[in-house]
Structure 1
Amino acid sequence: MAKNSFSRVLGHVLLLVLFCLLLGWVLEQTAWVLVIGLGCYLAWTLRHMSRFYDWLSTHPNEPPPEARGVWGEIFDSIYHLQRRDSKMRSRLQAVIDRIQSSTSALRDAVVMIDSEGHLEWWNHAAERLLGLRTPDDSGQHVANLIRDPRFIEYFERGDFRDPLEIPAPIDLNVQLQYAITRYGPGDRLMVVRDVTRVHNLEQMRKDFVANVSHELRTPLTVVVGYLETLLDMDDELNPRWKRPLQQMQQQASRMQALLQDLLLLARLETSDNPSEEELVDVRPLLEHIRKDAEALSGERGHHITLKIEGNTRLHGIEGELRSAFSNLAFNAVKYTPDQGEVTLHWWSDDKGQHLSVIDNGVGIAPQHINRLTERFYRVDTSRASTTGGTGLGLAIVKHVLLRHQGRLQITSVPERGSTFSCHFPPNRAA
């Protein structure tokens, strides 16, 4: 196309030159006629160039000026490009308007945040749930408008795999769930949902379980006490009643362990942030757990080893950490065959501090791993009575780690063993 246009312009110039030469030959003034002809052509070209420049400088959105010849074709091409670009922009604007209208109609808040954390756009639900104001808050940093320390830590950490649930900044009785997704060159899309009803139902369930567990503890203690008293009366006890009483005592003890785990779990769920933290030395804690695991193994003869590398001082609550670590160690002993191997490995690196409990036991199938931390979830219900567990151990481990900003990682191969790893962030190290 450009080559054809150049050929046409060159053809016009050659025709002009031939005409001037012919006229100059007739008038016997060839040089002057040629100079005047080319000068007029240059002046005509400069005039249209000036009109073109004025149009670009002052009225680029209006149609280009009228012209003839090559410049007329140029202006017509620009006009057609304008029309096509205008139609394309209209279609794109219509799509943008529809997207904004649909997101504005959502009940969930949608907030667009740039790579530096500044607000770019939000829908009407964000004004209702977060108290954002248009246009005053545009360009503000999100941490200046949502000042909850838990949200600031969640936003700055950049790990958005799990959503965050905290009270609304304008109404503490409203519970909001924040989910952030990355897109583009560092931009983020934040979706905020009102989960007050679900949160209240979950809180009612927790309160119900805690209250029932607390109320059952006293009568169960009385029953266990009387059963122990009856079993101590060997001489006066009818032999036919000894085995039933022993089974009753065994089941009552399991009920006591279940109630204790339920009460501990209810206490852990009341807050995600430990309020009475201290500096815990993990070395003696793990050595004590290893001895308890050996006592639990007893005649089964497990080989239990402890390896410690790096910094062992951790900020946290010793009782909760002891409960989490011992649950992992005791589970490894319970589900590892006799003479099996269990290893407690503690180490630290630039990513934080870690504990792995490794066994060569029965292992876990992949479809069960994601549900292991659910309450009362069991991989094999037939093992429930033999292992004597309550089904709450890993749920307790999960909540203890959440309260200490940690996470639980589970890897397992059936018939080869399992590895349960606790990972703590670097800021937890002393």
Structure 2
Amino acid sequence: MNKLRNRFIFSIMLVVTIVLLALGVTLGAWSNERYHDFVSDRMKSETALTSWAVLEDGFPEREEAERVAREVGELFEARITILDENGTVLGDSWANPNEMENHIDRPEIQRALTDDEPELRFSETIGADLLYYALPLHIDEQLVGYVRVGLSIESFNEMNQMVWTVMAVSFIVAFLIILLLIARITKQIIRPIDDATKAAIRLAEGDYNTRTYEDQHKELGLLGRSINVLAYNLQQLSRRHQTQQEQMAALIDHMGSALLFMNVRGDVELVNQTTEQVFRVTSKELIGKPYYEVLPSQGLISFLQSVYMTEKKQRSQINWTENYITKVYDVYGAPVLAKSGRLRGVTVVLHDITEQKKLEQVRKDFVANVSHELKTPVTSIKGFAETLIDGALADPVASKQFSEIIWKESDRLQMLIIDLLELSKIENAQFQLNVEQISLREITEEAMALLDSKAVEKEMDLSVKETGSSIIEGDAQRLKQIILNLVTNAIAYTQSGGSVEVSLIEKKEAVELQVKDTGIGIQPQETQRIFERFYRVDRARSRNSGGTGLGLAIVKHLAEAHFAKLEVESEEGIGTTFIVSFPKRHMQS
């Protein structure tokens, strides 16, 4: 705004300067012309008087001409020159006539007969600028000579200089006075505009807290008051808009479903936090790029293409597998249309129903597996019991053999029921641990002692290795149950002559339990399902070993109850390692 003020002042002062200069030049020229006319009239009068003095007693000779020239020159304070009709100087009040050349060709002599204006000419004789005027001398209408008057222009120059000096001083004084007045008036006018402009710029930048100066003058203060009212209204609107925007952003970001919006060209313009988590990318990697280049699922891309082509709402279920994990999403897509009906973009919502699908599948598998697991021993018991009733009791060998089979199958059935009840108890919300400080090494050795006979039957090596301290807070019986299930599982899936190693490694905030075997291993796609109920990697092997298929499910729930981290590392044909990381201090203690 200072630039505007300076330009405003500069423009006004430029006009004022031009006007003053024009006025000064006009007055100076007029004054110079008036003084020149005055001097010309004076010279004409003095020349006429000199002509009268020269011809008073007739045309003089040289000596008389010199006397008359000196006397008149002293009287008029001018240079008086008397010439004959041939231009020869007879007398000169400022020079010796004998030393001067003939003046017949001088401009003032040539112009004498025309009675023109005086001629300004530099005199080489006296070395000065003089204003000359000459008149012809006639006696009885016969030209007898010339009389010339030369007046120094020094006084003319002094007068001219004085006029210009007075005008210059007046111009400077007037210029300064006008400049001060213009600067003050401009400041009063520009200040409200300047403040209003700055306030408007801050408003445009989004600073609605700004206020501007309100001038006391009614007209000048109106702009500032209007700006302040506008700023207040914008501030209120901004607060309401910001509140609504924050609420909308919080709603979008924290909704459980992934949300995307693509413009009419297919470029992603809006995503929420759930979208970043689903696709494992940041919003910067998605926004501004075509959906068909950044979305990982070909099924989702095809679904969006269908919405774009039909411009109708659609719903579908899409599966895609990432890192051996299959995700299932309920996808809803809808076109965004303007009032004119023109397509502006497409919005899509993805709701993760993987757990629901998994629960449905687990429920189906559980019913099928329980039915299958119960059917086998019940069928065996019923069949052999019928055989005994039909007469096999009379045969001591057959009756003993059938009775042992019935006992084994009933024992297996009892173990299955016990494990189901145990798993149900662990999953119960009222389930609590008996937390105390215990040594994992002692519990591990107790568990290994119980399983030593099974290892001997398969000629397997069981070993326990401890690195650091294995003291933690937990439920001793439940921890022993975890170790028993893991080691039993390792023995069941390891060939004869193999080995099972249990390692206890102390970490900074935890103790890590590792159960490593040299068994058949697990395929990568099965590692996520081995903790499901009744899921078996090798069904025939585990059933023959007497397992119920619930051991790892129990391990998972007991590990979660201890806030432990459970991991599996396996390579098919090489072996499997179960890693359970127990925190040293129980989080609920």
TM value normalised by structure 2: 0.42
Which sections of structure 1, spanning at least 5 residues, go unmatched?
Answer: 109-197
Shift of 1:14: 4.2
For residue 96 of structure 1, what is the aligned residue in structure 2? Answer: 245
User: Are 2:578 and 1:420 aligned?
Assistant: yes
**Aligned partners of 2:438, 2:251: CA distance in 1, in Å?**
52
Q: Deviations over 1:65-99 (max 9, x none)?
A: 99xxxx9xx99xx99x98xx89x959966973983
Q: Distance in 1 between matches of 2:19 and 2:514?
A: 101
Q: Distance in 2 between matches of 1:89 and 1:320?
A: 59
Alignment correspondent of 1:19: 15
Counterpart of 1:411 in structure 2 is 569
How far has the Cα of 1:335 moved from its partner? 0.7
Deviation by residue 1:28-66 (Cα, 9 ceiling, x = unmatched): 333233323433443344333246548959x97899999
Equivalences for 1:371-386 in 2 at 5 Å? 371-386=529-544
1:292 CA drift (Å): 3.0
* C-alpha distance in 2 between matches for 1:90 and 1:298: 77
Q: Does 1:323 align with 2:464?
A: no
Of 314-323 and 11-20, the range deviating more from structure 2: 11-20
Q: 1:39 to 1:294 in 2, by over 3 A?
A: farther
Matched, 1:353 2:511: yes
Q: Partners in 2 of 1:21 and 1:317 — Cα distance? A: 102
Q: CA deviation digits over 1:195-242, x for unaligned, max 9?
A: xxx9xx99xx9xxx9xx9xxx9xxx9xx99x99xx9xxxx97433444
Secondary structure, aligned partner of 2:494: coil
Query: Residue by residue, what CA displacement relative to the aligned partner does 1:94-133 show, whole Å, maximum 9, x if unpaired?
Result: 9739838978xx999xxxxxxxxxxxxxxxxxxxxxxxxx
Q: 265-274 or 319-328: which moved more?
A: 265-274
What's 1:33 paired with? 174
Residue 263 of structure 1 aligns to a residue whose secondary structure is helix
Scaled by the length of structure 1, the TM-score of the pair is 0.56
Percent identical pairs in the alignment equals 26
Correspondence 1:261 to 2:423: no
Within 5 A, what are the aligned runs for 1:236-255? 237-255=395-413
Q: Distance in 2 between matches of 1:367 and 1:301?
A: 31
Change (3 A) 1:296 1:364: same
Change (3 A) 1:8 1:308: same
2:545 counterpart of 1:387: yes
Structure 2 partner of 1:125: none
SS at 1:402 equivalent: helix
CA RMSD of aligned residues (A): 5.0
Letter in 1 for 2:573: E
Larger Rg: 2
Deviation at 1:390, TM superposition (A): 0.6
CA-CA distance at 1:325 after TM superposition = 0.9
| 1:256 to partner: Cα distance | 1.6
2:191 corresponds to: 49
Write the letter of the residue equivalent to 2:463.
T
CA deviation vs aligned residue, 1:250-303 (integer Å, no higher than 9, x gap): 222211211221222222223466353222222221112223333212232222
- Residues 559 and 565 in structure 2, CA contact (< 8 A), matched pair in contact too: yes
SS at structure 2 position matched to 1:333: helix
Question: Unpaired segments of 5 or more residues in structure 2?
Answer: 25-166, 203-207, 258-355
Higher relative contact order (CA 8 A, sep 6+): 1
Q: 1:336/1:46 Cα in 2 relative to 1: closer, same or farther (>3 Å)?
A: farther
- Inter-partner Cα distance in structure 1 for 2:543 and 2:404: 15
Deviations 1:9-35 (A, max 9, x none): 765554334223223433633323332
Q: Structure 1: which amino acid aligns with 2:171? A: T
Q: What does residue 495 of structure 2 align with?
A: 337
Please give the secondary structure, in 2, of the residue aligned with 1:427: coil
**What amino acid does structure 2 have at the position aligned with 1:295?**
S
Distance 1:107 1:279 in 2: 40
For residues 272 and 345 of structure 1, the distance between their equivalents in structure 2, rounded to whole angstroms, comes to 32
Count, aligned residues: 302
Q: Which moved further from structure 2: 344-353 or 275-284?
A: 275-284
Comparing 341-350 with 267-276, greater Cα deviation is found at: 267-276
Q: Distance in 1 between matches of 2:436 and 2:239?
A: 63
